[in-house]
Amino acid sequence: MKKLIILGCTLMALASCGSNEQSGSTTDTTAVLSPTNNGNRTTTDTMDTKSAGDFTKGSMLISQSDCVGCHKEDSKLVGPAYKDVAAKYPSTDENVEHLADKIISGGKGVWGEVPMTAHPALSKADAEEMVKYILSLK
C-alpha cells in the first residue's frame, strides 16, 4: 500500500510537470519587481522584508506553476507547506539562493522521500522571487 501511495504521488508530480505556457492573456510581471540592496547581494545578510518589496510576483509565479500540485500554503500535501518552509529557513540572501537552486534542480530527502521535480526552464530570478514570497509567510 505504501508503494502505491508513493507511486501515485510520483505520478501526480510528473503529470503536473507540463509546459509553463499559459493559454489566454499574458501578464507582464516586471512592474511588481523592486530593487533590493541596490543590486548588491550578500550571502549572510538577513533580508529586511519591509524593504524587500512586493511579493506579488513570487505569489503569481507560484500560482501559475505546477507547484500547486504538491504544495499548499498552510498544510502539507505531497511536499511541505510553504509556511513550514518559511519556519525552517530564515529569510537570508543565502537561503533565497539555495532554495531557488533547489527549485530549479529538484531534490529529495530534506522533507521526505518523495522527490521534488526539477524545473530547469525556470529562470533563477523567477525562482528567487518565488522563494522570497514563500519565506515571507512566517
For residue range 42-76, list pLDDT tens digits in order: 333 344 443 345 799 999 999 999 999 999 999 99
Look up the pTM and report it: 0.63
Residue 78's nearest CA partner among 48, 100, 108 is: 108
Residue that has been written with the C-alpha cell 499574458 in this structure? 26
CATH of domain 2-17+46-135: 1.10.760.10
Going by the DSSP 8-state scheme, the letter that residue 4 receives in this structure is H
Going by the DSSP 8-state scheme, the letter that residue 46 receives in this structure is B
C-alpha torsion sign, points 99, 100, 105, 111? positive
C-alpha torsion sign, points 64, 132, 67, 137? negative
Helices (H), the chain: 2-15, 56-63, 82-88, 93-105, 124-135
For residue range 69-117, list pLDDT tens digits in order: 999 999 999 999 999 999 999 999 999 999 999 999 998 889 999 999 9
CB atoms within 10 A of CB 125: 11
Cβ neighbors of 23 (< 8 A, separation 6 or more) are none
Task: Give residue limits of the domains in the chain.
Answer: 2-17+46-135
Residue 89's nearest CA partner among 102, 77, 76 is: 102
Going by the DSSP 8-state scheme, the letter that residue 70 receives in this structure is T
CB atoms within 10 A of CB 12: 15
